[in-house]
Amino acid sequence: MSLRAEFSTPALAAGVLASFVGFAGTFAVIIRGLTAVGASPEQAASGLLAVSLAMGFGGIVMSLATRQPISFAWSTPGAALLAGTAQVEGGFAGAVGAFLITGVLIILAGQIRSLDRAVAAIPRPIANAMLAGVLLNLCLAPVRAVAVSPAMGLAIILTWAVVAKINRLYAMPAAVLVAAVLVATTADFHAIQPGALWPSAIFIAPHFSLAGLIGLAVPLFIVTMASQNIPGMAVLNLNGYHPDTSRVFTATGVFSLLAAPFGGLSVNLAAITAALCAGTDAHPDPARRYWAATISGTGYVLYGLLASAATVFIAASPPILIEAVAGLALLGAFGGALMGAVSDPADREAAVITFLVAASGVGWFGIGGAFWGLLAGGAMHGLAKWRKK
């Protein structure tokens, strides 16, 4: 059967919905994370463009190559990790160096089974606790927004809450839309040059340092693998798809490497939006659902062309308002990580220590709290195992 004959309206609808939800729901988190590690507005726009193109073309290439609905996404938890990390040595160039190292580590995880197994061997409560600690500060932003700007903050939160009760998929896009209307009616856009709205890729020469490797690249690699790639593969398996793990992980690493020199953080397998493309709503015939992921990838490429406009919009917004939108987008991930962290009584103490250290924001030797939380929790976990023996 030809590719054209396999195309269907349900696949088109599922792909369009997946790309819209994936981009509109969390692009504010990406920009917030990039600016937190030193990116200028222009560099943040370039990073958003690069990562959008990487996950778009990555999903298109892998879906067509395997005839399976393999969706790529940016690492939203990874962006939240950036938002809670102090600038590494070298500024944003140092962050770009860490992005490149992360891409290499993901490729190695795909090629070296022992490294893949080592990531999977990290106790799930510890990995979840680190992620929850990283997300905590941003998830508090909606509360702070209400304190700083009650009318705007409440309007965004109430929109999100009401729409979530109707259809959770549309909750974040609706909140973003309300935030956009509020910003458009209160901000001054007259000084913006029309040329600033055109997409532009900026090459950033990377800077490599030990602090960037340990404090940013390694935690970003662990978060991307543990909270994105491995769950994303599980979603595919649950829907009856079993692509070559090595090939898929390697592809996410390659596209991460392509995005990094232009400020893009790592890409990975989609998890939530993957269910839209791999489920029965995409098509009754599992052999034809790969079109949904292909269309979703095309949508990400098109949305990427709006990266500069999105960055200009965020730059004109009150910072606390954008942080509130980003915090709402991460509540689900925070709740899931927190539940996974404390669900097992045997590892609860180690997980709580991991969470507290990671959430504290402390850093030594230029290395952020995520790494130290992982180290402290891992040590406590090892001590508990030793005591049992």
Distance CA 99, CA 86 (A): 15
Number of Cβ atoms within 10 Å of the Cβ of 346: 13
Helices (H) and strands (E) in the chain, counts: 21, 2
pLDDT tens by residue, 161-196: 998 888 877 787 888 788 878 877 776 655 556 555
Q: For the CA atoms of 262, 112, 76, 31, what is the dihedral angle to 10 degrees?
A: -10
Distance CA 373, CA 20 (A): 34
Mean pLDDT of 20-26: 77
89, two tokens: 């040595």
Contact 375, 126 (CB under 8 A): no
Nearest to 137 by CA among 80, 179, 221: 80
Residue 83's pLDDT is 79
pLDDT tens by residue, 327-357: 787 787 788 888 888 888 888 888 898 888 8
Residue 254's pLDDT is 95
Comparing 93 with 166, the larger pLDDT belongs to 93
Number of Cβ atoms within 10 Å of the Cβ of 130: 36
Mean pLDDT of 146-170: 86
* Residue the block writes with tokens 């015939």: 285
The most distant pair of C-alpha atoms in the chain lies apart, rounded to whole Å, by 69
pTM reported for the whole predicted model:
0.75
Residue 171's pLDDT is 83
Residue 5's pLDDT is 46
Distance CA 324, CA 322 (A): 5
* Residue the block writes with tokens 């590892």: 347
Residue 127's pLDDT is 77
pLDDT greater than 80 at residue 47: yes
Residue 2's pLDDT is 46
Mean pLDDT of 9-15: 77
Domain that holds residue 20: 3-388
Please state the separation of Cα 205 from the chain's center in Å: 23
Residues facing 73 on adjacent strands: 268
* Residue the block writes with tokens 């490294």: 115
Residue 194's pLDDT is 57
Look at the chain and report how many structural domains it folds into: 1
pLDDT greater than 70 at residue 302: yes
Mean pLDDT of 8-34: 80
pLDDT tens by residue, 197-254: 677 889 999 999 888 888 889 889 988 887 788 778 877 887 888 888 889 999 999 9
Distance CA 189, CA 356 (A): 41
